[in-house]
Each structure stands twice: as C-alpha cells, then as structure tokens.
Structure 1
Amino acid sequence: MRSKICFVILWIAGVYQVMAQNGIEKVVDSLYKEDQFYIGITYNMFGNRPVDLSQNGFSNGIHLGIIKDMPLNKRRNVALGLGLGYSANSFYHNLHISQDDNQVTTYNLILESDTYTKNKFSNHLVEMPFEFRWRTSTPEEYKFWRIYTGFKLGYIFRNRVKYRGDLGDVRYTNVKGFEKFQYGFTVSFGYNTWNAYMYYALSPIFSKENQINGQTIDMNNIKIGLMFYVL
C-alpha cells in the first residue's frame, strides 16, 4: 500500500512539472507567492540507537500539507512559511515491544535465535512546519533554486505496533511509552520540482522512563528524502 502511495506522489509531481513547463497560462503577478502545498517521501532512520538495536526493511514516511507563504522583501524571494500538515511513518527494527493487560509496555531486543517475518511500529502525526525561505524566483519564472530551513512541531495522534514471529502474532494500537510531541529542525533545497529534504528530531521517540536492560531508549528520528512543492 505504501509503495502505491509513493507512486501516486511521484506521478502527481511529474504532472505538475509538465504543467508548469508548458505554462497553461502564465499571468504575471508582482505580488506572487510560492510553494503553498508540499508532498514528501522519506526514508526514516534511528539516531542515538542503543547498542545492538538495528533497523531492517524499508522504513518510510509520507508527508503532505499546506503552507502560508509570507514574503519579506519587495522582490519576494525571501519569505516565511507557516503551515499545517499530516505525516505517516513506519519503522522496521529488532526491538520487541509488548504490552500486558494493564497496558504496561516492555521493550526487549529480539535474540538472534528468534525468527520473525514482521516487526515494526508506525505513527500518524499532525504537524506544524515553520520555515525561513530563500529562492531565486521571479513573477515570470516557474523554475528556480530554493533553500528552506526551519522547525517542525508534531503531535502523534495514533501509533501501532505489529509483530509476527516466534514470540507470537500481536498488534497493539495507541501503545503507551511513545513520546507524543515531536519537534526538530528541517531543511530542503533543490531546483524546480525535485528537492532534497532532511528532518532531525530533537525529541526522543520513546518516553525517557522506558529502558532496555537498564539502558534508556534515547533514540530520535532522522528523515531524509524528497520534497515536492506545488503552488
């Protein structure tokens, strides 16, 4: 399902690029604004991983939203952006997350002797990006260089844990122990439709009281990928 969504995102970005290049009807607007919508796909990684904790499979994220572009100068190539968006993320790993009848969550590394076919957690967030934007745009030019840096706040409104293997077949929803508020730095840069993107979380994935063998799980999230901007 995720691969199909990623394909649709790439297809939409390609269609938009063709439309912009062909210029359906270019109207010069001296008070123009840029990049009102964004769509992104990322590869999600763990930062500050505990010893022996590893990722496996393809952990990915899908991000979309709208941003209010607020130019700061007469040329309108420097601006602020404030937006609202949605993000869905998955993480494949060798950390076994279990929850008892009292909703007490425990974390253990899966032993090499244990086999499993699926082990992941996923989350869904409402996000608020804030960006400082620089670009080489003009009222007549649809292709330009851009560098956007900023900060993103997020709230996890749903999470899910899935495991299928020697230790059983389980699925938990809204597991306690995940840090609901996420925040971190963002940067995107590129030319025209294709833009590299990175997010570095300052907040941990799990609440600080959670541990593995007496070691705090102080992991954060790092995302790298592509971001597409649409007027």
Structure 2
Amino acid sequence: MNRQILRACFFMLTACTAFSQEKIVSETDTKVKIDSLYREDQFYFSFTYNSLKNTPKDYSKNKFSTGFSGGFLRDMPINKKRTFAFATGIGLTYNNYVQNMAITGTSNLPSYAIIESTTSYSKNQFSQLLIDLPLELRWRTSTYESTKFWRIYGGIKCSYLVSDKSIYKSDLVNTTIKNNKDFNPFQYGVYLASGYNTLNVYAYYGLNSLFKSGQIAGESLQMKAFNLGVVFYIL
C-alpha cells in the first residue's frame, strides 16, 4: 500500500514538472514571436501654421495660413531593441497661403505684384495639393508591450504638385488661376517630429522654392515653405 502511494506521488510530481516546463517554454516562444514581428507602422495626420521664407520686399502675411496632411508610414527597425528604425510611405498635403502678393493674369501667363496698402480687397491667397513621399529616421522608447512612448522622427519629404489654385478678389479685379505654370511641380524639404504618445510637435522647412519661375518687380520668386504644427500618429 505504501509503495503504491509513493508511486502515485512520484507520477504526480513528474507530470507537474513537465507541465510547468511546457508552459514556460510556450510563454517564452510566444514572447520571442511577438517581439520579432514588432513594428511601428502608423497612419499620421498633421495640422500646421504655414509661412514663407525668402519673400519679396513689402511682402506680409494676412490672417492665418493653414496646412493639413495625412498618410501611412511603414516601419523598418534596424536594431535588436527596435528603438531605431527607418520609415517610408505615402501621403497627401494641402497647404494654403494667405498674404498680400496678388497673382493675376492666366495660368500660362501669370503676373505678380505686392498689393498696395491703400488697395481694398476681400480675398487673396494661393493653395496647393501635393502627393508626399517621406523617408525618415526614427528613434523611440517603445516596446511591444506599450504603444505610449517618447519619439524623435526626422527625415526628408519629396512632394509632387497635383493641383493649385490662386484667388484674388478686389473691387476692380476678380481672378482665379488654376495650374499655374510658374509653380514648381517637384518640392522637397526636411522635417522633424517629436513628442509623446499620439501628440507630437512638427516642423517642415522647404529646401527648394515653391516657384520655378516668375518675377515681381524684376526680382525672381524664391519663396520657401516653413510650416509649424502638430502631428498625430495612430497605430
């Protein structure tokens, strides 16, 4: 009887040990599997305050110029902890610039002039819609267990202009121009995004001019975009 009890206890201990080892191995395998697939693929949305640099003499901003963008970024980790990564993707940007440089004429023969302070006008702005191809280097404190982390993302963004529109309305002139031939169809610049969790500050500086041609008072237009705002990342 005592031998039977001892045998039963031995088999129970052996079974528990085997089950415990199997559970540990299973949990370890699952952890490694999740970590090996961990990426920060993200949708992004941004809102910016737009301004221009290298502007003509007597140029000034009027009201609030805004920009909106959104897209998707594919994450490609480059170190074992996955705190560094490259990312690339595609997006769309809409930029609006409200200022005192009137664009009149036609799309094939536009003309530019600074609106005099004594001239009364109700509206003057130009806008652009662009397809974006960003390429960025990423640093973050994320882990596969948490989507809330600190980040610094920076890179270069190449954009292609798909449509544009200029509007100037005054008591004497009412002009709308689309597909202005003087706008640069290819634009590129550098950007930086930094913050915590979904909300981050964002800055973009254009490295080439919005205009490939065009003059105002004999001076070539060399205006570059400088946009500040916030960007949201959503997994």
TM-score (norm 1): 0.85
- Establish whether residue 157 from structure 1 lines up as the match of residue 179 from structure 2: no
Question: What CA distance in whole angstroms lies between the structure 2 residues aligned with 1:158 and 1:54?
Answer: 24
* Deviation string, structure 1 residues 77-113 (Cα, Å, up to 9, x no partner): 110001100001100010010124x821111111111
Candidates 87, 90, 95, aligned match of 1:84 = 90
Candidates 82, 94, 99, aligned match of 2:100 = 94
* Deviation string, structure 1 residues 13-36 (Cα, Å, up to 9, x no partner): xxxxxxxxxxxxxx9731211142
- Counterpart AA for 1:157: V
- Establish whether residue 198 from structure 1 lines up as the match of residue 198 from structure 2: no
Question: What CA distance in whole angstroms lies between the structure 1 residues aligned with 2:230 and 2:115?
Answer: 32
Matched with 2:229 is: 225
Matched with 1:125 is: 130
- Establish whether residue 139 from structure 1 lines up as the match of residue 149 from structure 2: no
RMSD: 1.4
Matched position secondary structure for 2:209: coil
Once the two structures are overlaid, the 10-residue window that deviates more, 81-90 or 170-179, is 170-179
- Counterpart AA for 2:163: R
Question: What CA distance in whole angstroms lies between the structure 2 residues aligned with 1:83 and 1:68?
Answer: 6
Question: What CA distance in whole angstroms lies between the structure 1 residues aligned with 2:100 and 2:115?
Answer: 6
* Contact 1:206-1:217 within 8 A present in 2 as well: yes
Report deviation, 1:37. 1.0
Report deviation, 1:174. 0.9
Question: What CA distance in whole angstroms lies between the structure 2 residues aligned with 1:85 and 1:174?
Answer: 21
Matched with 1:41 is: 47
Is the helix fraction higher in 1 or 2? 2
- Establish whether residue 213 from structure 1 lines up as the match of residue 217 from structure 2: yes
Matched with 1:179 is: 184
Instruction: Report the count of equivalent residues.
Output: 203
Report deviation, 1:154. 0.1
Unaligned segments of structure 2, at least 5 residues: 1-29
Matched position secondary structure for 1:141: coil
Matched with 1:53 is: 59
Unaligned segments of structure 1, at least 5 residues: 1-26
Question: What CA distance in whole angstroms lies between the structure 1 residues aligned with 2:226 and 2:172?
Answer: 29
* Deviation string, structure 1 residues 178-231 (Cα, Å, up to 9, x no partner): 111110001000011110000000010111x31111111111001110000111
- Counterpart AA for 1:134: W
TM-score (norm 2): 0.83
* Deviation string, structure 1 residues 33-57 (Cα, Å, up to 9, x no partner): 1142111010110011111011111
Question: What CA distance in whole angstroms lies between the structure 1 residues aligned with 2:201 and 2:234?
Answer: 15
Percentage of pairs with the same residue? 42
* Contact 1:35-1:229 within 8 A present in 2 as well: no
* Contact 2:104-2:110 within 8 A present in 1 as well: yes
Return structure 1 stretches of 4+ with deviation > 2 angstroms. none
